[in-house]
Structure 1
């Protein structure tokens, strides 16, 4: 008859989706049911996160296996301390509470692929002398919130392409594409707009494809796995026609989060919009797409103020996915830095790598405060100027239980004044060079007292009056 009837472990959920992230606590209990008294060496709970990859490549008659592993954290809490002599537990039900905090820092989300996995595990283990260990293991669904500058991922994306089709008389095909943003949560809707100008004599079909690209790394080797998540198409566009196409595509709810903070596994997505043309290369536009946790993808609701800024305020968060037209306001040109802006969000970030989401220029300090708007501007555009963020928190929120006084202002001491130095006499301070020889200048012409530009009827003065002849000219004239 066994002594241990059961060893079970349970933990509390922090949200409806049952996910955990960096810095979250793992709180639960271990229940041990004994049918008779036992001696226990140790009882502990262990949490850990690991990633590993492994695949085999065949080269001729030889198979080569590549593998790699990475550990992110491992924490252990003893419910019964380790003791070589053991601790005696009587018959009955014993309940032990535990709490383990997941470390802070950037860690990749949970993932399972064909050639690798990222797993987070919570394990309870009972050890006894000369007995088999009793364990209970549960996997943790981990999502990473270590996303650099997530607000920049809510910006729209635009792209265009053109192609000449034909052998004898080539005609061009143009396509401009707009995607509402860059980051999505599983189950969200992707909005794609395409403006197509088919000036050729060929028919074509616009299509949209979402591609998942997984890259495994081990021992300086790589293994790539590419999967098409979905493909949608629109009606055929006939020759010499123009058409605007719009797609509203709902993403699957089981999409894995983008992984870019793991050394041995990378998972990225791209959205490809292209024109399917028979017997020709398809013109295409590729956009990087980032899959993030749902709580990071929820933007501000329409008509609801976000943070200290009212809805639609200049410099505050935007409620629209589409940028408004650029309109100059006041003495500043549209989009001028330091002046009032009429765009609710900065320009789209430039992607890094083929499918990687990039980081637009992040500012180390907020832009300078804007001057007060003129009366004619404030009447037409009801956009209040954002105020500087207080270093002591938002004044509209409830005060905390402990108030910290502001730091005293620093005292500035003026530097000691320099001793007054009397300049030397001018003749001693500079060595004057000998005076230059005096040259006899030509006689200047007399000043004319008559205004030549006047509108009077008087005759202009005679030339001889303005320039009298010299003595030599008089003698020659005689």
Structure 2
């Protein structure tokens, strides 16, 4: 029977949120109780950060597995000297304090998904000759110090569609999101202005989508999760309406993940018109979800608006369309000022001018991306995805 009892590790963060970031110092303690005097080889403590993905496609003989691994850092210290001639610890309670440093660098936040993880943790290992080692570990809640973007500028985009077949006329829609950067729990306001100059009825719809992609070499595994969906009131033929929607970012929403080579998490708000027997016109806005920040950034880095564009999944031209006085529909939603001139990622001005005749257009049919329902299975355990983690150190 092992004389080592209650072997555990504790860590403390230097902030009230209990999180860790690049450059932080991890302060902790390894504690255990010995039922008798014991000779040990070493007591090692280490902090490390790593990412791993794994998934299988196909079944039976046709199945193929994909995996990738990325290590961000490792810092270790011996609390009891390695392979010393006489490391004798006396019976009783033992406490070993330690300090480990997380290096500076652009490291992604903690993440756990169906096919991978990004984990930061501290491990302790007490080794004895010809005996099983005693181990303990503590995961760290790691967040990035700098958010990808804290822009408070609105996003705007528009789309046109000419109705064909037995329908006549055209449909025009302009949509606006109040800003681009959000934190969990924030409210997101969307306004869609629709001019239905066709003979078809339609309904505006709003979706908040999370896109998660795992990469292994040249292969990838992508899934979509719908976090929110709302259907607006029916817009009759030859009418003009404004549909507004307020979305609360889920408190448990993962942060946008863009600085990991093998895992990415993106968010989009999609505004589209559900038209029977027709390809639905849509406007898609990219969103960034991250820690709370009251500031605004001038340099948006990889999240520059010009790189996003709007609509990002549409082949229809982006333009300003005007010609009616919008009227809010539904209840319980706050509509933005329809005369507000906001920032337009695509470079177009979205100011609304009254008594202006819409100009003509040509549209190329497109197919919207398929959206899969959220997975119901529980994420696999750390050891299932990476069974040789301890062996590889």
C-alpha contact 1:53 1:68 (8 A) present in aligned 2: yes
**Structure with the bigger percentage of strand:** 2
Where do residues 198-213 of structure 1 align in structure 2 (5 Å cutoff)?
198-213=196-211
Instruction: Give how far 1:67 is off.
Output: 1.3
Which structure 2 residues correspond to residues 212-231 of structure 1 after superposition, within 5 A?
A: 212-231=210-229
Work out whether residues 268 and 355 of structure 1, in 8 Å CA contact, stay in contact via their aligned partners in 2: no
| 1:353 Cα deviation from its structure 2 partner | 8.5
- Structure 1 pair 236–73 and aligned structure 2 pair: CA distance change class (3 A): same
Residue in 2 aligned with 1:378? Answer: none
2:251 is aligned to 253
Aligned residue for 1:109, secondary structure, equals coil
CA distance in 2, matches of 1:355, 1:171: 22
Partner of 2:71: 71
Residue of structure 2 equivalent to 1:277: 275
Give 1:326-365 correspondences, 5 Å limit: 349-352=305-308
How has the CA–CA distance of structure 1 residues 161 and 353 changed in structure 2, closer, same or farther, with 3 Å as cutoff?
closer
SS of the equivalent of 2:65 reads strand
Partner residue, 1:242: 240
Q: CA deviation at 1:137?
A: 0.8
Distance 2:229 2:246 in 1: 12
1:89 aligns with 2:76: no
**Aligned ranges for residues 301-312 of structure 1 at < 5 Å?**
none
CA RMSD of aligned residues (A): 2.4
Aligned with 1:154: secondary structure? coil
> Could you report, residue by residue, the CA deviation over 1:167-201 in whole angstroms, capped at 9, with x for unpaired residues?
35621211111111111111211111111112222
Mapped to 2, the partners of 1:86 and 1:205 lie a distance apart of: 78
Map 1:50-61; keep pairs closer than 5 Å: 50-58=50-58, 61=61
CA distance in 1 between counterparts of 2:15 and 2:243 reads: 39
Alpha-carbon shift at residue 110 of structure 1 (Å): 1.4
Match runs of 1:123-138 below 5 Å: 123-138=123-138
1:353–1:4: structure 2 CA closer, same or farther, 3 Å change rule? farther
Q: Cα distance 1:211–1:156, how it changes in 2: closer, same or farther (>3 A)?
A: same
Give yes or no for contact 2:57–2:65 (8 Å, CA) kept in 1: yes
Structure 1 residue 79: deviation in Å?
Answer: 1.4
What is the Cα deviation at residue 51 of structure 1? 0.9
- Offset, 1:12: 1.2
1:196 to 194, 197, 201: 194
Q: CA deviation at 1:206?
A: 1.0
| Cα distance in 2 between the residues matched to 1:355 and 1:276 | 16
Structure 1 residue 124: Cα displacement: 1.2
Cα distance change on mapping 1:354 and 1:171 into 2, 3 Å: closer
Q: After superposition, give the CA deviation of every residue in 1:258-283 in whole Å (9 maximum; x if it has no partner).
A: 11111111221111111111111111
Cα separation, 2, equivalents of 1:354 and 1:157:
8
Greater RCO (Cα-Cα under 8 Å, separation 6 or more): 2
Task: Please report how far the alpha carbon of residue 355 of structure 1 lies from its aligned counterpart in structure 2 after TM superposition.
Answer: 10
Partner Cα separation in structure 2 for residue 57 and residue 28 of structure 1: 42
Whole-angstrom distance in 2 between the partners of 1:16 and 1:355: 40
Q: Assess if the C-alpha contact under 8 Å between 2:174 and 2:194 holds in 1.
A: yes
Q: Distance in 1 between matches of 2:94 and 2:192?
A: 64
Counterparts of 1:355 and 1:290, CA distance in 2: 16
Q: So what's the TM-score if we normalise by structure 2?
A: 0.73
* Residue 30 (str. 1) matches residue 30 (str. 2): yes
Change (3 A) 1:257 1:96: same
Displacement of 1:160: 0.5
| Partner Cα separation in structure 2 for residue 66 and residue 167 of structure 1 | 46
Once residues 249 and 13 of structure 2 are traced to their aligned partners in structure 1, the CA distance between those partners, rounded to angstroms, is 26
Give aligned pairs, total. 307
User: How big is each residue's C-alpha offset from its partner over 1:69-98, in whole Å with a ceiling of 9 and x where there is no partner?
Assistant: 111111112211213423111111121111
TM-score by length of 1: 0.60
The match for 1:291 among 285, 289, 302 is 289
The alpha-carbon deviation at position 99 of structure 1 amounts to 1.2
Residue 63 of structure 2: SS of its match in structure 1? strand
**1:6 — aligned with what?**
6
2:68 is aligned with 1:112: no
Distance 1:254 1:109 in 2: 14
**Contiguous gaps of at least 5 residues in structure 1:** 301-315, 318-347, 357-478
Q: Secondary structure at the match of 1:210?
A: strand
Tell me by how many angstroms 1:218 deviates: 1.4
